[in-house]
Amino acid sequence: MHSESNPATNLPIKPRRGRPKKTSVDALDTRDALLRAGMQILTESGFIRSGIDPILKSIGVPKGSFYHYFPSKEAFGLAVLARYRRYFEAKLDGFLLDESFSPLERLQRFAQDAQDGIVRHEFKRGCLVGNLEQESSLLSETFREQLQATYQSWQIRVATCLLESQKQGEIDLTVNINDISQAFWIGWEGAVHRARLVKSTQPLSLFMAFFIQAIQIKTD
């Protein structure tokens, strides 16, 4: 059997390959795409007010596919929270473990980066955990437990940084380091909410200046 040839060139015609299939969301991992979209929407609107349909529409996923990966909206919300926790832990570690800066500078650099992010997203996105905390009275006990565990994880990281700061003589704390770390997150989350309200980073700058001044060793 002879292969066909192109009469213009007398060269064999190569068999056409089938068109490559369009890259589908499934091929890119539907579950991961859903979680990314969920992180974006929950940082803007929280959990209670966020519907599933806008999330599905944003990435072109049918509702049937959603329920293949998540049996309920709550299961989805918990998975989004777990992913956000891992993301934010890595972010904190990137700043607070950077030994090229002093411990207090690390904390201030984290705060500045967060402020830049809020401005970049035009004050529409806050902290996913802070948003969920505001809705805590409407969430399940499992949700509240995971929120508390997330805060505890973040507090441990800030406490470790402050302990190093204390050892280096930057701060002189007469109270428990863990209490100061908890106070940081209570104040920080409040400042994030106020910044979104007034569409200004001033509340965040004010809180950080107050916090650093309160714990830093006073020099004559």
Spatial contact of 78 and 142, defined as CB atoms under 8 Å apart: yes
Q: Which segments within the chain are labelled E, that is strand?
A: none
Identify which has the larger pLDDT, 21 or 179. Answer: 179
Nearest to 192 by CA among 129, 144, 104: 129
Would you list the domain boundaries of the chain? 81-215
Spatial contact of 162 and 215, defined as CB atoms under 8 Å apart: yes
What confidence score (pLDDT) does residue 49 get?
84
pLDDT tens by residue, 47-62: 888 888 888 888 888 8
Q: How far is CA 160 from CA 166, 180, 181, in A?
A: 10, 11, 9
pLDDT tens by residue, 159-192: 999 999 999 989 977 768 999 999 999 999 999 9
Q: Which amino acid is at 181?
A: S
| 126 secondary structure, DSSP code | -
Cα-flanking dihedrals φ and ψ of residue 131, to 5°? -60, -45
Spatial contact of 34 and 69, defined as CB atoms under 8 Å apart: yes
pLDDT tens by residue, 79-138: 999 999 999 999 999 999 999 999 999 999 999 999 999 999 999 988 999 999 999 999
What topology is assigned to 81-215 in CATH? Answer: Tetracycline Repressor; domain 2 (1.10.357)
Strand partners, 216: 171
